[in-house]
Amino acid sequence: MMLVFGATLAWSASGVYSRLLTIDVWTAIAWRSLFGGLFLIIPCLFLEGGISRRQWRSVFHPSGLAMIACQTICQICFIGSLYTTTVANVALIYATAPFMAALLGYVLLKEKVGRRTLVAGAVSLLGVVVIVASSIGGGTGLGDLLALIMTLCFALIITIPRMSPGVPSLPPTIVSAFLTLLLFAPFSSVGSIDLYNWIVLAAFGATNFALALVLFLAGVKRMPSAEAALIGTIEIVLTPLWVWMIFAERPPLATCLGGAVIFAAVVWHTASNLRSGPIKRLAFS
């Protein structure tokens, strides 16, 4: 429980890091990815014997390439959305990823979708509509769109391993980090990064990208998946809370209303699964 809660805390700091940065979005995307990839390599080399050559070769499997593409887009849209809309909007739209994954599982894998999932997904979609509709004409529409694309890509990241169980998740994550760097480094302004921003970028990549994933994967092996998912829902509240407390970024009323709907749907769905049996969840950004 402590490992999963630590991962949730690390993920919830994304809004704080994005508001601490004083560099442009292209620079943030490129160099945050560098530090995320570097710090993720360390546990892969030293924990549990590292990653085998067979696992690295699996990156070139079509599913591995699809994972790399989805994770690269996810990282780009994640930082882009934090720069162009409120942190609360990003966190709450992202909270609907499990329901998008359930829909993709039905479409791509013909997996049966339970009645509870359908109800919770429909309710959470209503919350997203409230949030996005309020942003039209308010200057945050692009950010909300990026958050939706990020959430869809993350839902694919959850679904692809079920289509090809032999493809591991960590090697594509590392490759996507360095691919993002290669794509955006030419557009970044390295000269604008002072010591302060280098420290924030390093902390952003080390904790929110690498440490959170390692802690979650280590914790979820030692507890029921449903309980881990329930702890993970705390991120929905903590992410905008930290930004509101530190930077006084108050979410609009529509975001609060839509967020309450989404949060209620996620908690109800997760708690129901906890009572009825274990569920599977894969979560990292």
Contact 168, 49 (CB under 8 A): no
Closest CA to 149 of 243, 205, 71, 209: 71
Specify the higher pLDDT residue, 281 or 131: 131
At 60, list the tokens: 């070139």
Rounded to 5 degrees, φ, ψ at 110 are 60, 30
User: Percent of the chain at pLDDT above 70?
Assistant: 91
Quick check: is 262 in a domain? yes
Query: Using one digit for the tens of pLDDT, what is the confidence trace for 116-160?
Result: 888 988 999 899 988 888 777 667 889 999 999 999 999 898 888
Specify the higher pLDDT residue, 149 or 52: 149
| Range 180-206 average pLDDT | 95
pTM of the model: 0.86
Element (H, E) at 142: helix 141-163
Residue span of the structural domain in which 6 resides: 2-276
Contact 105, 113 (CB under 8 A): yes
Residue 251: DSSP 8-state: P
Quick check: is 281 in a domain? no
User: Percent of the chain at pLDDT above 90?
Assistant: 47
Residue 235: DSSP 8-state: H
Quick check: is 246 in a domain? yes
Distance of CA 253 to the CA centre of its chain: 24
Quick check: is 283 in a domain? no
Residue 226: per-residue pLDDT: 61
Structural domains counted in the chain: 1
At 133, list the tokens: 């509709």
Quick check: is 282 in a domain? no
Quick check: is 285 in a domain? no
Using the predicted structure, report yes or no on whether residue 278 has a pLDDT greater than 80: no
Using the predicted structure, report yes or no on whether residue 285 has a pLDDT greater than 60: no
Residue 53: per-residue pLDDT: 74
Using the predicted structure, report yes or no on whether residue 283 has a pLDDT greater than 60: no
Residue 49: per-residue pLDDT: 58
Q: Look at the chain and count its residues.
A: 285
